[in-house]
Chains A and B, each alone.
Chain A
Amino acid sequence: MALTDALKAEFDELCKKYPERRAGLIPALHRCQEELGGWLSPETITDCAEYFELEPVEVYSVASFYPMFFLSPVGQHVVSVCRNISCDLRGASEITKAAKEHTGAECGKSSEDGHFYLEEVECQGACTNAPMMVVDGKYHEDLEPADVARILGETR
């Protein structure tokens, strides 16, 4: 989707924080993903490139480096289950299994109805409250497998 005037105005403010405008790129890509359909489409990348006076490939190069950015469409609700050591030791694989069952999606894929996107992610920094998952940016910690259906059900 195309960059809106409202976002451009927001980026004008954002870039004032830095001596060089380009420093605003990653925060700007976050805002694009939030506002423009949940992923960074080629059109969004091209518009951002124009805004930041970069080549589209430079913006793509940056966006593709960071796991939080999606470069293809994803389901409406993003479910990220931590698979790193502290969560693994306390049953993360059972959380992933429950999430697969509830969403009907495989890891790295969206559900058929497009409602969910499911992924396993690396450490989210909530290790003392393992296992955990993130749903649409919100942390859910100290999980039992039985909690998963209830939490994901709240997105319906």
Chain B
Amino acid sequence: MTSHETYLLNRSKLADSHTLEVARADGAYGALRKVFETSMSPEDVVEEVKKSGLRGRGGAGFPTGLKWSFMPNHESDTRNRYMAVNADESEPGTCKDRVLLREDPHCLIEGCLIAAFAMRLDAVYVYVRGEYRLPYDRMQAALDEARAAGIIGDDVLGSGFSCEIHMHKGAGAYICGEETGLMESLEGKRGHPRPKPPFPAGFGLWGQPTTVNNVESIFNVPFILDRGADWFRTLGTESSPGNFLCGISGHVERPGVYEVPLGISARAIVEDLAGGIWKGRALKAWFPGGSSTGVLPADTLDTPMDHDSVKAAGSMFGTGAMIILDETASVVRSALVLARFYEHESCGQCSQCREGTEWLEQITDRMLSGQGKAGDVELLADLSNGMTPGKTICALSDAAAIPMLAALKHFRGEFEACIPTTAEAPV
């Protein structure tokens, strides 16, 4: 059994961990107090987060401290400043943030306040996907408790620093997890991603400087400030420090959200934590970090789960949400399920994505229903290559094309087997 230091989920194991009383008894808001009591400057806080090497947990793995440092100088740019916390968790396979929102909202609030102090923010908006009712209600209740206790609002903990944190409810669109789509949605519009540049730090919410961070990224911040960047770097790997929440789903005996250090082998997660492939079967394929990361064959399961190693194995770390397919699963069916998803979620602005996702769905659908045509496999590859890389406003098009290309690369025979030998060439 794997044994390693944990911190992200420790409090969650306490009864009523979501209440202020229990969270405080467990040390919540201690890191925030430490920031104030040791007279750290906002710049010191940014520097500590930079030094920790924390990488964003929402999918791209961008260094959090570096992102914070992109916010403009507050003296030369006096506009209002915002952070949006991305809790629009909707990458298939991913369900870690809901655990944090539901079980330990005060840690997220503490992280938001530290981030707000560091970036001199006026307000923080926590954008929660509309379906997450219980997580939303828990966060709202925690905010109400914290406000009553003088922890948010004016003069936080008597420090002279003030910041508001507001909850905001989305309405079920995957694209609003893309940071500029999220901002448009938060402004009360369709969630259409914006062309970049300008980047959010210069032109974000309501045209003001804004940083968008994932829930789990912000959740790490109090621990980094409390225990120090050097401690944080004792966990994980050199280029991907810390622990992460691995949600493992699909064909394993014990699916769940597990806290593990970055760099742990995927095999250790599957076999030791998740109890192995279900029903005594063998592994066929796995997605390392959500549905947008390329599927990998079974012989790559010794890959360490960190950004660089998964990339070297030919995929992406993504959200760290592993999806497991056993030997009986159909990769073509999974390709259809995902193609249908991306078709449903495409916002429609870019033709490559709008049309491409629809074609991918239609072709995989006809292949699975025995109507495949000669040349369909090549057509899928050709279409996918027309959708990536970087050909559209946002990365949804890439997210649809990448898993398709990976499936074709590693499991081409399964796709070819769907084409009847008598099939005619497409018209």
Contacts and interface: CB of A to CB of B under 8 A. Distances in A.
B174 A26 contact: no
B255 A130 contact: yes
Interface in A54-70: 61-62, 65-69
A23 to B, nearest CB: 5
Contacts of A138: 133
B337 interface: yes
B112 to A, nearest CB: 15
B333 A88 contact: yes
Interface in B168-196: 168-174, 185-191
A123 B325 contact: no
A81 to B, nearest CB: 13
Interface in B98-135: 98, 129-134
B92 A127 contact: yes
Interface string A84-112: 11101110000000000000000000000
B190 A62 contact: yes
B89 A125 contact: yes
Contacts of B344: 67, 122
B341 A86 contact: no
Nearest to A61: B190
Contact of A85 (B93, B97, B132): B93
13 contacts: A22-B187, A52-B188, A69-B171, A85-B323, A86-B249, A89-B250, A89-B323, A90-B251, A122-B174, A127-B92, A127-B323, A128-B257, A130-B255
B98 A22 contact: no
A126 B321 CA distance: 12
Contact of B323 (A19, A26, A86, A124): A86
A137 B171 CA distance: 12
Contact of A125 (B90, B189, B329, B345): B90
B173 A123 contact: no
Contacts of B132: 125
Contacts of A125: 89-90, 94-95, 97-98, 129, 131-132
A89 B251 contact: yes
Contacts of B340: 83
A122 to B, nearest CB: 5
A128 B98 CA distance: 11
Given A85-B337, A122-B341, A138-B133, A23 B187 contact: yes
Contacts of B323: 85-86, 89, 127
B341 A139 contact: no
Contacts of A25: 188
Contacts of B166: 17-18
Task: Give the size category of A's interface with B.
Answer: 35 or more
Task: Give the size category of B's interface with A.
Answer: 35 or more
B168 A27 contact: yes
A24 interface: yes
A129 interface: yes
Contacts of B97: 125
B249 A88 contact: no
B7 interface: no
A106 B327 CA distance: 32
A73 to B, nearest CB: 18
A3 interface: no
A79 B311 CA distance: 39
A88 B338 CA distance: 10
B385 interface: no
A30 B206 CA distance: 22
Given A66-B172, A130-B255, 10 more contacts: A19-B80, A20-B206, A26-B168, A26-B170, A30-B169, A62-B190, A65-B191, A122-B345, A127-B255, A137-B131
Most buried by B among A26, A84, A134: A26
Contacts of A19: 80, 206
Nearest to A69: B171
